Chains A and B, each alone.
Chain A
């Protein structure tokens, strides 16, 4: 609009000034031309001298934490910039980090932007758009800075005091539980070699890579393994993050995995997403990180339900440990799969996330009573406080 108006003035006034030879009319035309040139040059110059930087904490974050970033914009040109709008397009839910600034020549300004992380996922730190203009607003320019890394947000973790394992725990005293004796202990990490370590503990690959001796570390405690089966079939879940059945399911899976790993159990994750995530059982920080990263990026985009997958996995898992299944499926296919693959004395636990309760007009799903004969079922609905699940009732205490 601005440039069109200006162009119209220049063309019309210029034509009539020229054919009439009126000096003052020329002055008006010259003004329009000069302001165009000045604005163009100003806009180019200040955009060239503008720099932008962002300082963000590294590592991983968790839903519910406060993520703090510090932005700095510096105008290295000698010309003032009356209006700058900085828009950080990092995709954090509920994050609208726009900022209006006015900068003088050779001036720098910094500010901190805090955002509460509301949803899990990987978020790019950017891109950042800077919109600025000359003093007349004739030549607005948009500078786009590409993303500077990303941040991974894990799902929220709630403390679940033995809830998920009450019915499933085989009893550590049982000689049938736990890892078979013939299985070697699993290495959980690498550390610097200590002279007291045996030579068989040296991890030669890492030693070659680091140039110094490195030793393997082993999980000292053994216990029953835990398989977490997460149903991520497309169309199963309802609601919008963070109030969606998917987020509840993922959060539960993360909390269960975290609790089990903290208790020294080997945890395996099976998810029916598009990539059929299957993380073998393991212990320790590395395993937890792997599971959390997987859960952080989990999407309900699978083609098949958990009921179709379980029959293939349960036979291999039969003697290794417990099963916690998290689903919103009402079809009962998964119940049959569990019933077929169950072992005497070992009950699986199913956490049923009632997807219908996440609809705009929520309803309560009714589970067939006979399912409880096969396994323990815990029902979670929208609004339940996941930190206060009642192991007896099987419902969150509100």
Chain B
């Protein structure tokens, strides 16, 4: 049955279209001077083809948006449903214009369509059994996807029917467009970003057709009214009106699409805790993803920062802040970074982990320049569910003391774990962590000085050698390109630390941070396009590029996905708050004897790079030079010299800054023009006009003058005693007095004071002369005072 759904819908659409065709009649064509035919009582006025076409286009745009974003393979059925909805509702409206009969008839049609849609959805989701059981099963929550799909498909039909009925029967374009617009916005703000396709054109199309439909139905309703009343009319229809409407709609839509959005930040969680599902980053298409924790680094399209709280923490690390390490990504493939081929071993709660290939005893004694740090985490809301891996303040030293077991994934050599990539509680974090309870992890962080790292040498252990090169299967040209960039950015440095530092600093100074990088051409690695062409990207671009460049130079490096240090001051007791917007990717470089050291190539304006001048903090190992470890927020740090290289929506921002004053000026001018250019129809309005120049001139109290006195005062203000203007003003004042005393002061119509149009062109000059007179008057009155003051001196 399901395979016949589309053909059946198509047949229904054709039948409804034919039924409509038989009943529909175009409005009269162009008339130069004629009387519209009076409709018989009870008959609906004829509907134009244009409005029906627009109704179809609007429903297609709405269904297209739903199809692109959420319906997936069922998008075609959604489009057909929308078309069927419009045509059936329009046909019913033509054949049964009585609402009492027509609306139920339309709903009956909808029920038939619904049965077809249920069959289709059941086939797609693989459900069996009769239709009611499928629906009840879905309603019970066992398969909410099926029910959602069914609802959305039926929504397509419903939107079409709504538009068709309201356009053809009621001629209410605004109401017809209200539901589709609400569906569009709801779809855009609620749909999972990972599922978003490219609704741009469908939204633009819906806006243009919706606005056009509003205008056209207004005009058709007016013409139908004239036809009903037998009002003769002249002009063309739809002709000029349609052109003006559609032209305005296109211009408005273009402007609306060009204007920058007021906000990129999703703060809906503050208001709706069951709001949209936050998903991970790293989308390869151009849809906007939402910032969040990611288990791989695939630089892709634009992302939006959402400040949804994830967790709060306290740490024993220097400065009370630390990068929260989630996943170590050491597998480079086609410009992206993944966790790599790893194995996993189970671990009990509180077990010590091997560290850098040496069986750790819970200390960092075997490494120099490192110290142990604790991280006490309290997850907020659904934060534990959003971050599957345990977060550590550095290289993990042990599993948490909470009851396990845990899965420790990393580089294995037989049963021996050489490197830890992730530590994940079996069954998920929420299974071992009671609500609102803290979790403490221990890790090792580098406190090595720059001098120590510069002399670390290149005697890398065997297990880290895999991280010193890009995979051999990588495209040779791409690798060469990256290597050339790496050589250029290393600026002739020879030791790994200096090379890493130079590359980091070059990236921070030469590239721009942007959440909306240009799209990468097909077949090109994003980091190559980033380094050579776009120069815009976010943390994944910077970290990927730096990691790849270091590897082309033989320096072991990897990427860490986790969270930045977050914000302090938002929570009591020195806790720092981590939100989804703090999700971050950074680079770790391995130095013999000193282990993995963080580098921060992303110039987002918040985080310090490694090697920057940072004031030593308590607990930090004394250094002879700059602290090599990044991670301290630049804000509030004394002596910070970090210059943000933020290019986030630079074009829009600059455009807004440049255009805003012009827009304000334009608005003021338009307002002034409307105020001054409007008709003067009542004596009160004339008085207000005449009072203004007199008030500016400061030659008396305008409210105490009669209209004729005001007119005479204005006449005297005119340059050289403009007698014509003066007589016109006096004439106007006389007419206004007559109007006022004849009891027609209000609603008298413009005829009485039509003469204002002759004065209007000189009114601005009058204002200017009044202002000059006022200035001269005030300076003249100030001069005697000045002379008196001089005499007294």
- Chain A interface (Cβ < 8 Å from any Cβ of B): 1-2, 5-6, 8-9, 12-13, 16-32, 34-35, 38, 41-42, 44, 48, 79-80, 82-83, 85, 98-104, 109, 111, 127, 133, 135-138, 143-146, 148
Contacts and interface: CB of A to CB of B under 8 A. Distances in A.
Contacts of B223: 83, 100
B620 interface: no
Given A20-B189, A83-B241, A99-B234, A1 B174 contact: yes
B592 to A, nearest CB: 46
Contacts of A148: 751
A78 to B, nearest CB: 12
Interface in B236-278: 236-237, 239-245, 248-249, 252-253, 255-257, 259, 261-268, 270-271, 276
Nearest to B288: A23
Nearest to B206: A28
Contacts of A144: 747, 749
Contacts of A102: 233-237, 239-241
Given A99-B232, A136-B218, A137-B214, A82 B244 contact: yes
B678 interface: yes
Contact of B211 (A24, A35, A83): A35
Contacts, number: 197
A184 B174 CA distance: 80
Given A5-B178, A82-B245, A136-B245, A27 B203 contact: yes
Given A24-B203, A27-B207, A103-B235, A83 B222 contact: yes
B268 A28 contact: no
A25 B229 contact: no
B108 interface: no
A19 B268 contact: yes
Contact of B181 (A13, A19, A137): A13
Contact of A12 (B33, B185, B218, B679): B185
B255 A34 contact: yes
Nearest to B221: A137
B175 interface: yes
B511 interface: no
Given A19-B270, A21-B304, A101-B234, 4 more contacts: A13-B182, A27-B256, A135-B245, A136-B218
B719 to A, nearest CB: 27
B200 interface: yes
A146 B219 CA distance: 27
B665 interface: no
Given A9-B178, A135-B241, A24 B188 contact: yes
Contact of B266 (A20, A101, A136): A20
Nearest to B750: A145
Interface string B194-237: 00000110011001000100110011001100100101111111
B184 interface: yes
A108 to B, nearest CB: 12
Contact of B226 (A12, A16, A48, A100): A100
Contacts of A98: 226, 229, 231-232
Given A2-B174, A80-B240, A48 B678 contact: yes
Contact of A85 (B222, B237, B240, B674): B222
A30 B234 contact: no
A19 B271 contact: yes
A8 B248 contact: no
Nearest to B203: A24
B363 interface: no
A16 B262 CA distance: 12
9 contacts: A13-B182, A16-B185, A27-B204, A28-B181, A30-B259, A82-B219, A102-B237, A102-B240, A135-B244
Nearest to A45: B674
Interface residues of B, number: 76
B677 interface: yes
Given A16-B189, A20-B276, A100 B222 contact: yes
Contacts of B276: 20
A35 B251 CA distance: 10
Contacts of B672: none
A101 B222 CA distance: 11
A127 B749 contact: yes
Nearest to B199: A24
A362 to B, nearest CB: 30
B175 A1 contact: yes
A144 B681 CA distance: 10
B660 interface: no
B172 interface: yes
Nearest to A128: B749
Most buried by A among B204, B240, B253, B266: B240
B234 A25 contact: no
Given A102-B236, A103-B235, A137-B218, A28 B185 contact: yes
Nearest to A9: B181
A82 B263 contact: no
A99 B33 CA distance: 10
A176 to B, nearest CB: 53
A348 B101 CA distance: 71
B766 to A, nearest CB: 20
A2 to B, nearest CB: 4
A23 B749 contact: no
A85 B244 CA distance: 18
Contacts of B226: 85, 98, 100
A25 B215 contact: no
A29 B182 CA distance: 11
Interface in B146-194: 172, 174-175, 177-178, 181-182, 184-186, 188-189
Which 6 pairs between the two chains have the least Cβ-Cβ distance? A102-B235, A82-B241, A137-B218, A100-B233, A146-B749, A30-B256
Most buried by B among A6, A135, A138, A143: A135
B189 A12 contact: no
B234 A17 contact: no
B234 A18 contact: no
Nearest to B264: A21
A323 B376 CA distance: 120
Nearest to A99: B232
A136 B181 CA distance: 17
A41 B670 contact: yes
A148 B750 CA distance: 11
A20 B268 contact: yes
B752 interface: yes
Given A1-B172, A27-B207, A136-B248, A22 B189 contact: yes
Contacts of A35: 211, 214, 248-249, 252
Most buried by A among B188, B268, B304: B188
Nearest to A53: B751
B748 interface: yes
A191 to B, nearest CB: 34
A99 B674 contact: no
A63 to B, nearest CB: 25
Given A21-B304, A35-B252, A82-B219, A111 B33 contact: yes
B744 A146 contact: yes
Contacts of B33: 111
B240 A16 contact: no
A82 B186 contact: no
Contact of B185 (A5, A25, A100): A25
B261 A26 contact: yes
Contacts of B36: 100
A82 B744 contact: no
A136 B247 CA distance: 11
A148 B754 CA distance: 13
A31 B186 CA distance: 16
Given A30-B256, A137-B218, A23 B181 contact: no
A190 to B, nearest CB: 30
A20 B185 CA distance: 11
Contacts of B271: 19
Contact of B751 (A19, A23, A103, A146): A146
A109 B233 CA distance: 11
Contacts of A136: 211, 214-215, 218, 245, 248
